[in-house]
Structure 1
Amino acid sequence: MSPLQNALTFCSWVKSLSSNSHPTWLSYATSSHQHEILITDNGIYNYFLGTNSDLSSEINPSKGTWNHHCTSWSTSSNTRKVYFNGKLVGQGATTSRTYGLDGFLFFGNDNHYDGSSRDANEIFGGELFKVKFFAKELTGEEVLGMKEAGLCSDVEESYGRVRYLRWEDLLLEQRNGNITEVEPGCPARTCPTEKETRNETEEPTPGSREGRNDAAEESETECECEEKKEITQWDILYSEEIFNRTLTVDFPEKIRSYWDILGNFVGVTITESVITHFKIFQSCRD
């Protein structure tokens, strides 16, 4: 949690399916602080740095529907803000301390730190999708943008390294209990055909340089779509040992298979925009 000690936003799409009184979908606790984070899908628990706000009058999800939950905070504001479906439904002052470290992050029940205690009334019993932690206090506009982009969008990917804990990473972690993966119902994304791409770039207003650039950018963005789902090796570029370093011919062996792409950029510094360019180069070069 150390990168999140001074600023944090956590969000998730949550589908409520349980009639338990306190269906807890997220909790974080340390040996010193039992309720650093404790969130239920019905708004009863919104524990944050040990203090709860009962927002059940504002958060009353219908069973079986997806809802967008977010909570944001930073030491600069010392204010916790709770958003439900993009709307600010509660806020309040918090203690001036930072988050405790070396705790346990749980999904699906209360976390009593020792890992042995559970409460049957706090079993979540629903569905989660795209749980993510940002090392930043997101604004209300940014939270609303994620909600309006919808369940099936990739809008969170635009935050790059600020999206510190990613849904893709959570899916790789060890799981215990009655947990089943189900499809969220999102349609498969496909890149445009060569003919579609050519038509898009040939149709801007004659003589309009701006029109041609916009069309080219749109085709590049669309052409990234399949790559985003399949190429996880790009995450290596975001690692501490590589990001903000200059690319040399001694690039780590673990991504040698991408040298035909990366070799074109020897001498540049690995930044957010450069990685984006790598992705476009990989997915559109043919």
Structure 2
Amino acid sequence: MFILLFAFTCLPAASSDDYIYNALHFGSSSNDYVGFNFDMAPFRNSLSLCSWIKRVDTSASYPVVFNYYISGPEIYIGSDGRVNMVVGDESLNSLESKFTTPLGRWFSYCLTWSLATRTSKLYLDGNLIATAQTPSGRALTMGGTLFFNRFSHSTNSGYIFGGQISQFNIYSDVLSSESIQKITEGGLCFDLEEFSEIRVLRWEVILDRSRNGNVREVTVCTQEKLSSQKSQRRLAEITGQYNETKTQLSKMERTLEVVTGKLKYTEEKLEVVTGQLNSTEEKLEVVTGQFKSAQDELVAVKGDLQTETSQHNVTEERLDACSRRLAETQSKLETARTLVNISRWDVLYTPPYFNKVLTEELFQQFTSSWDPLRKFVGTNLTDGVVEHFRQYHKEPECDTFEQFSSSMLRHFLGVEMTSGIIKHFKETHEDSACNNNTES
């Protein structure tokens, strides 16, 4: 909509070939001025005053470009930076060192003010050069008169500007630094229609006001106006650009919807993944604790194993020592038996009889004089059995036996009392002699 409006407002009348931008050139007398009344209500709470200024003389002490005067100056701007006043505030005065544009050259001047922020700013050639605070609650006073090249009704020549001004406009709002830069870069022939809603006191109005003394218009630049056909083509171009922009905007909106949906989906997945990550971290903490506990147990088991291994080694050493001592004892015993009181019963101490089960096969290896042993078939030939026969069966034919006495049993201490041993005593060692019974 703004593009189309700009296109229409830029179209001048088809009957004119050029659009002329003029300036006002003021003479060097206090009688050369423009003065009129204007409704300043739109600027009560904020304003922006912008103008192009050219100095041609520096003889005046306080060269007045413009002042809005009631009983004193409400707005007062000079061409040399000495006075820059708004709502009667003098905080921006004495800036002569900033006004360095040579005589005969144009420079851009903008003064802004806001009651809400209590701030006034001064721009030269689009650059901010000073900022000040204005009194709290101080609005612009109404009912004054506007003067150009004159300080109110004074005829003092010390206030004579005597230069040129162009595109002097007062806006009803504070222009941004970007807008001021744009106006400056646009130059003397810049089209200000984009600010038409807030451009209240217009340069065109000032040019139409009556002038006093030596005040004349001078041309500063011209621009070719568009013909009706050119205007229509330009309008078509702008309309096409607008439609294309609108189409692109629609595509961008659809793309934005898709991207927004994907972003929402991604955020949901992120929440799920974050939850899983938190759960994994908790599990990891549990597993880490278990692993640490297992490590502690492993250390303890290693300690126990080392202790048991040490004990096992000691036991093996002791066992080896016992085995050696047993072997030595057995060797000594065998030697003793071969050298002292050897009898036929000592054979039973030798393999394969001693401490083995007496079988029928083993018994057949003996002579008939060994018949008393038949009762012990199936019985281990222990020390008790062998010593019994050594003491009580001395003759091969066993003609006589001693009577049974309790001393016989002493040889069986520590010997398993098998059925063969008991049967032997029952049948063989009664109260009478052996009676030559070889089956006993």
TM over 0.5: yes
- Return the alpha-carbon distance in structure 1 between the equivalents of residues 155 and 231 of structure 2: 57
The separation in 2 between residues aligned to 1:195 and 1:169, in whole angstroms, is 26
2:119 is the alignment partner of 1:79: yes
Within a 5 Å distance, the mapping from 1:244-259 to structure 2 comes to: none
Q: In structure 2, give the amino acid aligned to 1:73.
A: W
Seen in structure 2, the aligned counterparts of structure 1 residues 209 and 50 have a Cα distance that, compared at 3 Å, is closer
Question: What pairs up with 1:23-42 in 2 under 5 angstroms?
Answer: 23-31=63-71, 34-42=72-80
1:19-58 to 2 correspondences below 5 Å: 19-20=58-59, 21-31=61-71, 34-52=72-90, 53-58=93-98
* Offset from partner CA, 1:38-84 (integer Å, 9 cap, x none): 11111111122223221111122211111110100111111110011
> Would the alpha carbon gap of residues 190 and 51 (structure 1) be closer, same or farther in structure 2, given more than 3 Å must change?
same
Instruction: Look up the match of 2:128.
Output: 88
Q: Is 1:107 the counterpart of 2:155 in the alignment?
A: no
What is the 5 A alignment of 1:197-276? Answer: 197=233, 201=237, 210=244
SS of 2:196's equivalent? Answer: helix
Matched, 1:141 2:182: no
How big is the shift at 1:107? 0.7
Q: Quote the Cα distance in structure 1 between the aligned partners of 2:159 and 2:57.
A: 10
Could you tell me which amino acid in structure 2 is paired with residue 42 of structure 1? D
1:161 aligns with 2:201: no
Q: Partners in 1 of 2:96 and 2:113 — Cα distance?
A: 20
Pair 148,182 (structure 1): closer, same or farther in 2 beyond 3 Å:
same
TM-score normalised by structure 2 residue count: 0.43
CA RMSD of aligned residues (A): 2.8
Q: Indicate if the aligned counterparts of 1:42 and 1:61 stay in contact, CA closer than 8 A.
A: no
Cα deviation code 1:251-283 (max 9, x no counterpart): xxxxxxxxxxxxxxxxxxxxxxxxxxxxxxxxx
Query: What amino acid is aligned across from residue 66 of structure 1 in structure 2?
Result: W
Q: Are the aligned partners of 2:86 and 2:113 in contact in 1 as well (CA < 8 Å)?
A: no
In structure 2, C-alpha distance between the alignment counterparts of 1:90 and 1:108, rounded to whole Å: 24
The alignment covers a number of residue pairs equal to: 204
* 1:68 alignment counterpart: 108
1:164-206 superposed Cα distances (whole Å, 9 cap, x missing partner): 10011111112112101111133333348559938x85xx99x
Matches of 2:42 and 2:139 in 1, distance apart?
Answer: 11
Provide the secondary structure at the position in 2 that maps to 1:3.
Answer: helix
Q: Does 1:5 align with 2:41?
A: no
User: In structure 2, what is the equivalent of residue 186 of structure 1?
Assistant: 222
In structure 2, the gaps of 5 or more residues are: 1-39, 249-440
Q: Which structure's residues are more often helix, by fraction?
A: 2
Using the alignment, how far apart are the partners of 2:41 and 2:85 within structure 1?
Answer: 19
Distance 1:172 1:179, change over 3 A: same
One-letter amino acid of the structure 1 residue matched with residue 43 of structure 2: L
SS at match of 1:181: strand
Distance 2:150 2:198 in 1: 27
User: What is the CA distance between 1:135 and its match in structure 2?
Assistant: 0.4
Which runs of 4 or more aligned residues in structure 1 lie more than 4 Å from their structure 2 counterparts after TM superposition? 191-196, 211-214
State the partner residue of 1:264. Answer: none
Structure 1, unaligned stretches of length 5 or more? 215-286
Q: CA offsets per residue over residues 198-235 of structure 1, 9 Å max, x none?
A: 8x85xx99xx9627999xxxxxxxxxxxxxxxxxxxxx
Q: Distance in 2 between matches of 1:140 and 1:195?
A: 32
Structure 1 partner of 2:391: none
212, 216, 222: which one aligns with 1:176: 212
Q: How far off is 1:161 after superposition?
A: 2.6
Aligned to 2:165: 128
Identity, in percent, stands at: 32
Q: 1:70 to 1:213 in 2, by over 3 A?
A: farther
The structure-2 alpha-carbon separation of the partners of 1:209 and 1:175, relative to structure 1 and needing over 3 Å to count, comes to closer
**Kept in 2: contact 1:41–1:61 (CA 8 A):** no
Q: In the aligned structure 2, how far is the partner of 1:213 from the partner of 1:176?
A: 56
